[in-house]
């Protein structure tokens, strides 16, 4: 147990089973490193680029034409808030990776605006990740990553790159934006992997 | 966004340290500045924050982030906490937390929303409410370093009574060469103030900020809606999005 702060009393009743250090929120805080990028849909594209340089790409209408799923998931932000049972609509990475031939173990995700984040490729597969374009039945708003963001709910939310534009498959791990300024390489909320060395 | 190199200490493990309250003063009716002693504090850059962990007698504990308000003075650091209605941690820190009491903190955290004193680029600081805190650390670091880099602060507050660091900012504008301070009021302005009270607009940032052609680094901090509006206005005014760094405090609308 931590050091008791005299006079501190719990005020929030989070009945849910949250990862350590998290508290429940009902609104949807925003965290990003710069201004919200503006991405005209006719110019939008999402690409998966293999370690051999092979490029698989989808334009906006092509993405919407793919089979979609509606995952309901809990999300956990490294700034300590969690939201439970959020509903999204988007395309599973399993669908997008179907015809991609790769021996890569790692993925570096790229966003419009220049943001990047890294994760093991296996954390994107087997129903664990989506390219999401709707949140709670409405189109995803730009501050929350619209037109489309990555959704990887089992990791801290900075891995769920907003304004996603593509995934680069890599044989070796390469840190992304927050990972190279002191945040944890993997980011498992249940093991409280917030910062390097956690 | 360019990748930034970090001082070596940030790549080492961040450990929880026990901090004790050394002194405090009220900044406004709803905000308090805390000076904490943190034995072994490694130092920090302006713009970085700490994580605060509070634990009650039953073992329940919770964490929040707070920006460092000033450069470190040895083992002493400074935070300014705005009390939110019904806020669990801010209410405790701003009202109950007493001199000599322990809290746990770890940090410094964050290597992006920072200003490094040798950086020669002009700086535009845009603060909304308690978003002034990390920007004040930049202003104070600039002063401490004797830097003459052009700095301009545009600070949006509800009313004159809601201004943090009011006396120091008035003094600074005169005493710190190359620091301009402009305050924008959203609810009620002082008598005779030329600009009517209202939310910050692109026209305000055009009139009070630096022109985009001057290529300043822009630091925008405040509540989500404020940051969204101000950063968007800077982009509209032609500022390169890669030179606009944002930090958002608290809930979205
Ligand atoms: C990088 C960073 C730096 C920061 N720096 C500062 C700083 O320098 N100074 C500062 O004052 N703050 C800062 N913050 C904000 C700070 O971390 C806290 O979010 C803030 O103090 C509120 O915490 P709290 O525990 O008081 O409020 P919480 O208990 O978390 O509540 C937040 C608000 O939501 C409402 N609320 C909470 N739960 C519910 C619910 N279940 N239903 C309805 N409403 C609810 C509360 O009434 C309150 O108004 C920073 C945040 C970040 C991410």
The DSSP output letter for B174 is H
Q: What was the pLDDT predicted at B8?
A: 40
Return the structure tokens found at A41.
């849909």
**Which residue has the CA at smallest separation from atom 38 of ligand 1?**
A25
CB–CB contact A80 B1 (8 Å): no
Q: Which residues in chain A are contacts of B1 at CB distance < 8 A?
A: 33-34, 113-115, 177
Predicted confidence at residue B252, as pLDDT, reads 54
Structure confidence at residue B6 (pLDDT): 44
The encoded tokens of residue B5 equal 């190199």
Which of A6, A8, A142 to substitute to test the interface with B, most B CBs within 10 Å? Answer: A8
Average pLDDT over chain A, rounded to an integer: 94
pLDDT band at B1 (very low <50, low <70, confident <90, very high): very low
Number of Cβ atoms within 10 Å of the Cβ of B17: 18
Quote the strand ranges of chain B, DSSP E. Answer: 17-28, 31-37, 49-55, 61-67, 76-82, 102-109, 123-128, 151-157, 179-185, 217-223, 244-249
Residue B95 is classified by DSSP as: I
Three-state secondary structure call for residue B151: strand
pLDDT tier at B251 (50, 70, 90 boundaries)? Answer: low
For residue A1, is pLDDT > 80? no
Cβ contacts of B12 on chain A, cutoff 8 Å = 196-197
Residue B12 confidence (pLDDT): 63
B248 in contact with A at a CB cutoff of 8 Å? yes
pLDDT for the residue A14: 66
**pLDDT > 50? residue B7:** no
Classified as helix, coil or strand, A113 is coil
Does the pLDDT value for residue B121 go beyond 60? yes
Average pLDDT on A129-155 reads: 97
Alpha helices in B45-87 (DSSP H): none
B57 CB neighbours in chain A (<8 A) are 4
* A15 confidence band (pLDDT: 50, 70, 90): low
Q: Mean per-residue pLDDT for A8-21?
A: 82
- B91: tokens are 């209410």
Residue A62 Cα to ligand 1 middle (Å): 40
The reported pLDDT for the residue numbered A12 is: 75
- Among A29-43, A100-114, B24-38, the minimum mean pLDDT is found in A29-43
Round to whole Å and give the CA distance between B35 and B70.
10
Q: Any idea which of A124-128, B125-129, B133-137, B193-197 has the lowest mean pLDDT?
A: B193-197
Q: Does B8 touch chain A (CB under 8 A)?
A: no
Cβ proximity of B224 and B195 under 8 Å: no
Alpha carbon distance A159, A41 (integer Å): 23
Subunit contact A29:B109, Cβ cutoff 8 A = no
């Amino acid at each position: 147990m931590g050091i008791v702060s005299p006079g501190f009393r719990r005020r929030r009743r989070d009945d849910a089973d949250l990862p350590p250090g998290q508290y429940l929120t009902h609104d949807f805080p925003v965290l990003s490193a710069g201004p919200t990028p503006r991405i005209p849909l006719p110019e939008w594209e999402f690409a998966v680029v293999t370690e051999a340089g092979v490029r698989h790409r989808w334009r906006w209408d092509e993405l919407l034409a793919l089979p979609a799923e509606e995952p309901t998931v809990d999300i956990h932000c490294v700034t300590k808030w969690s939201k439970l049972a959020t509903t999204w609509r988007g395309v599973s990475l399993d669908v997008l990776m179907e015809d991609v031939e790769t021996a890569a173990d790692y993925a570096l995700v790229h966003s419009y605006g220049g943001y990047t984040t890294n994760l093991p490729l296996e954390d994107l597969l087997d129903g664990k990740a989506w390219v999401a374009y709707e949140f709670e039945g409405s189109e995803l708003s730009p501050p929350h990553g619209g037109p489309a963001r990555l959704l990887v709910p089992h990791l801290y939310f900075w891995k769920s790159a907003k304004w996603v534009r593509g995934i680069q498959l890599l044989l070796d791990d390469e840190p992304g934006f927050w990972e190279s300024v002191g945040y944890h390489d993997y980011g498992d909320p249940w093991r409280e992997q917030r910062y390097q060395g956690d | 966004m360019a990748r930034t190199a970090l001082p070596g200490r940030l790549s080492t493990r961040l450990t929880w340290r026990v901090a004790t309250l050394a002194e405090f003063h009220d900044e406004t009716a709803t905000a308090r500045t805390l000076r904490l002693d943190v034995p072994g504090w490694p130092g920090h850059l302006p713009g970085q924050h700490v994580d605060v962990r509070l634990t009650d007698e039953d073992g329940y504990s919770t964490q929040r982030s707070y920006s460092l308000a000033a450069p470190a003075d040895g083992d002493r650091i400074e935070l300014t906490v705005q009390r939110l209605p019904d806020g669990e941690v801010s209410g405790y820190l701003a009202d109950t937390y007493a001199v000599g009491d322990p809290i746990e903190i770890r940090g410094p955290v964050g290597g992006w929303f920072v200003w490094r004193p040798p950086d020669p680029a002009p700086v535009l600081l845009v603060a909304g409410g308690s978003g002034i805190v990390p920007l004040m650390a930049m202003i104070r670091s600039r002063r401490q370093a004797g830097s003459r880099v052009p700095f301009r602060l545009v600070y949006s507050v509800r009313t004159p009574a809601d201004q943090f660091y009011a006396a120091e900012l008035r003094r600074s504008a005169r005493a710190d060469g190359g620091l301009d301070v402009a305050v924008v009021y959203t609810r009620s302005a002082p008598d005779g103030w030329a600009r009517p009270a209202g939310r910050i607009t692109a026209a305000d940032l055009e009139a009070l900020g630096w022109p985009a052609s001057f290529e300043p680094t822009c630091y925008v901090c405040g509540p989500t809606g404020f940051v969204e509006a101000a950063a968007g206005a800077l982009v509209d005014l032609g500022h390169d999005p890669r030179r606009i760094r944002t930090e958002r405090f608290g809930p979205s609308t």
